[in-house]
């Protein structure tokens, strides 16, 4: 495999971002996915400085259509998908679970357990 095509969810911060940089430095073609356009575009610029072909796709892993679109766009752009780093996660609101709202708990559960990635 010449240059693997790598798709990383939750790629805009933390471990996902570090993985994107590491793959780019090794010459992979990198697709980063997340929910914040500005951060995604900025990361793509950085990855391209390493010589990587890189793209950003706005996607929410809690939405099946977003995940299908993310994979479809990756394959359309690069012709294949070799590596998927399913990194998207959230810690939710910090504090005791008894202090969480139903909405906060649901968002954390949907992202970390039920997500389509």
Rounded Cα distance, 10 and 8, in Å: 7
CA dist 17 → 2, 24, 80, 84, 99 (Å): 23, 11, 22, 14, 30
Write the CATH number of the domain with boundaries 5-114: 3.40.50.720
Rounded Cα distance, 85 and 6, in Å: 7
pLDDT at 108: 87
Q: What is the pLDDT of residues 29-50, one digit of tens each?
A: 999 999 999 999 999 999 999 9
Q: Are 81 and 13 in contact, with CB atoms under 8 Å apart?
A: no
pLDDT over threshold 80, residue 101: yes
For residue 99 the two structure tokens come to 């202090």
Does the pTM of the predicted model rise above 0.85?
Answer: yes
Tell me the pLDDT band of 105, cut-offs 50, 70 and 90. confident
Q: What is the pLDDT of residues 41-100, one digit of tens each?
A: 999 999 999 999 999 999 999 999 999 999 999 999 999 999 999 999 888 888 888 888
Q: What is the mean pLDDT of residues 101-112?
A: 88
pLDDT at 1: 60
Rounded Cα distance, 23 and 46, in Å: 12
Residue 112: name the closest of 3, 9, 4 by CA. Answer: 9
């Amino acid at each position: 495999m010449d240059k693997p095509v790598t798709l990383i969810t939750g790629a805009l911060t933390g471990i996902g971002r570090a993985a994107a940089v590491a793959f780019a430095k090794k010459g992979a073609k990198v697709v980063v996915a997340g929910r914040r356009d500005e951060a995604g575009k900025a990361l793509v610029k950085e990855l391209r400085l390493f010589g990587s072909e890189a793209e950003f796709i706005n996607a929410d892993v809690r939405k099946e259509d977003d995940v299908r679109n993310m994979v479809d766009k990756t394959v359309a752009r690069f012709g294949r998908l070799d590596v998927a780093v399913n990194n998207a996660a959230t810690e939710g609101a910090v504090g005791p679970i008894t202090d969480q709202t139903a909405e906060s708990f649901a968002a954390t559960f949907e992202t970390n357990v039920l997500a389509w990635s």
